[in-house]
Structure 1
Amino acid sequence: MRITISGPPGSGKTTVCNLLGERLQYEVVISGNIFRQLAKERNMSLADFGALCELDAQVDKELDAKMVAIAQSKDNIILEGRLTAYMLSLHKIPAFKIYLHAAEEVRAARVVNREGGTVEQRQAEIIEREQCEALRYKNYYDIDIKDTSVYDLVIDSSALNPEEIVEKIISEMS
Structure 2
Amino acid sequence: MILVVSGPSGSGKTTVAKSLANKYGLRFVSGGQIFREKATVLGKDLVSLNKEAERDFDIDRIIDQEILNQAKGANVVIESHIAGWILADESTVSVYLWAPLEERAKRISQRDQIPYDKALMTILEREQSHYYRFWKYYGIDIQDTSLYDLVINTSKLTPDKVLGIIEYFLDSYIRLTPGK
Q: What is the TM-score of this pair, normalised by structure 2? A: 0.89
Give ranges in structure 2 of 5+ residues lacking alignment.
Answer: 172-180
Residues 123-142 of structure 1, C-alpha deviations (whole Å, 9 max, x = no match):
22212211111011000000
> Match for residue 54 of structure 2?
54
Q: Distance in 2 between matches of 1:117 and 1:130?
A: 18
Any idea what SS the aligned residue of 1:69 has? helix
Q: 1:36 to 1:126 in 2, by over 3 A?
A: closer
> Match for residue 45 of structure 1?
44
Equivalent position to 1:102, from 99, 104, 108: 99
Q: Distance in 2 between matches of 1:113 and 1:87?
A: 31
> Match for residue 120 of structure 1?
117
Q: 1:55 to 1:81 in 2, by over 3 A?
A: same
> Match for residue 4 of structure 1?
4
Aligned residues: 170
Aligned partner of 1:80: which letter?
Answer: E
- Is 1:81 matched with 2:110? no
Q: Percent identity?
A: 34
Does the 8 Å CA contact 1:105/1:119 hold for their aligned counterparts?
Answer: no
Residue 153 of structure 1, CA deviation: 0.2
Any idea what SS the aligned residue of 1:154 has? strand
Does the 8 Å CA contact 2:50/2:129 hold for their aligned counterparts?
Answer: no
Q: What is the TM-score of this pair, normalised by structure 1? A: 0.92
Aligned partner of 1:83: which letter?
Answer: I
Give ranges in structure 1 of 5+ residues lacking alignment.
Answer: none
CA-based RMSD of the aligned residues comes to 1.4
Q: List structure 1 runs of 4+ shifted beyond 4 angstroms.
A: none
> Match for residue 151 of structure 1?
148
